[in-house]
Amino acid sequence: MKKLIIGTVVSGCLATATSAQVEIKLASIAPAGTPWIGHLETWEKNVEAATNGEIDIVIYPSGQLGNEYDTFKQVQRGRIDAASLSGGVLSAFVPELALMSTPYLFDKVETIDCVYDGAMGDTMKSLVADKDVELLQWGETGWVHVYAQDDLSDVANAEGYKARVAPHDMSRTLWASVGANGTELPYAETPAALQTGLVKAGESAEVSYVAFGLGKVAPHFMMTYHMHQAGGIIISERTMRKLSPEQQQILRDSLPSTQGGRDEIRQMGVALVRKYEAAGGPVHRLTDEQRAAWKAKVEPNWPGFVAGLGGQSEAMWPQVLEAKSACGE
């Protein structure tokens, strides 16, 4: 049976719904009807079938159980059993993961998938495990691009431009590298800041830019492909310890295809951008030369970016570069 809770939050964690049923609360900020929730619903159905209804995953979409940062902490404590989280939030708790989002590190999404699906991905999963959660599966947030009230395809136009800087090192490095006049703001304050002129530019994944209507206040969308963020499904170690080894393995084995989830989200991003463009939205697909000019501004600052992340980032950086090379870039 499909379990998707909309509007009503039930207290309790790893609750026993009946004498034979274990209920796992799963949090996501994604709205119902999106590929992220569809992926989780497939997982729920697979687990229910594999356990004959013994384990029931109950999905709470649209941030009903709190924002992503608080949700991660609640999963650590076992107060929420599991969550589907964006890459930016995972990196906030495991800084080494941000290495994969180094601005202009990657050119092709196939390379990124290869690195996550190989030994480097396993190494990063082990770092997440040190935070008392298990990363069951890598997810997809997507490529991040630049939006603005003017065309910034030419990186020279970004110098001195008033840009919203996201509260993480990837964004700080990008905008500082191109000489923008940056103002650090939480995402929730960005639309108002764009309307008042406090900032005139920012960064967004394709889906978020169109879905949240940022084009109404910053219509130019530059396909910079400057940063990629993954994401993932995590589960509390406390929750896993309450399950039998057989139940734990069913949860892992019942996850839908990682690549299938990625592809669906990417296809939605492409479709939304095309829809925005068809409605008259100015979408700028950078030439190779234009993108190379952006990268040339940022790449010299990679060492400082890596050093600033902390943790084991500096030691892991050569390994990330080696994995990238082994995957074809």
214-263 residue pLDDT tens: 999 999 999 999 999 999 999 999 999 999 999 999 999 999 999 999 99
**Chain length of the chain:** 329
Contact 8, 61 (CB under 8 A): no
Residue 4 confidence (pLDDT):
63
For the chain, the structural domain boundaries read 15-141+229-267, 143-228+282-326
How far is CA 212 from each of CA 51, 65, 218, 279, 282, rounded to the nearest angstrom? 38, 21, 12, 16, 16
CATH class (in words) of the domain with range 143-228+282-326: alpha beta
Q: Judge if 15-141+229-267 and 143-228+282-326 fold alike in CATH terms.
A: yes
Question: Which pTM was predicted?
Answer: 0.90
Low-confidence stretches of the chain (pLDDT < 70) are 1-20
In one letter, which amino acid is 273?
Answer: V
Beta bridge partners of 147: 202, 221
User: What pLDDT is attached to residue 288?
Assistant: 98
What pLDDT shows up at residue 1? Answer: 47
* Structure confidence at residue 21 (pLDDT): 86
Helix (H, G, I), strand (E, B) or coil at 39: helix
Identify the architecture of domain 15-141+229-267 in CATH. 3-Layer(aba) Sandwich (3.40)
Q: Which two tokens stand for residue 50?
A: 């594999």
Residue 17 is predicted with a pLDDT of: 42
**pLDDT for position 238:** 98
Half-sphere exposure of 147 (CA within 13 A, CB side): 28
pLDDT, position 145: 98
Largest CA distance in the chain: 65
Q: Crossing angle, helix 313-326 and helix 302-309, to 10 degrees? A: 130
Would strands 201-205 and 142-148 be described as parallel, antiparallel, or unpaired?
A: antiparallel
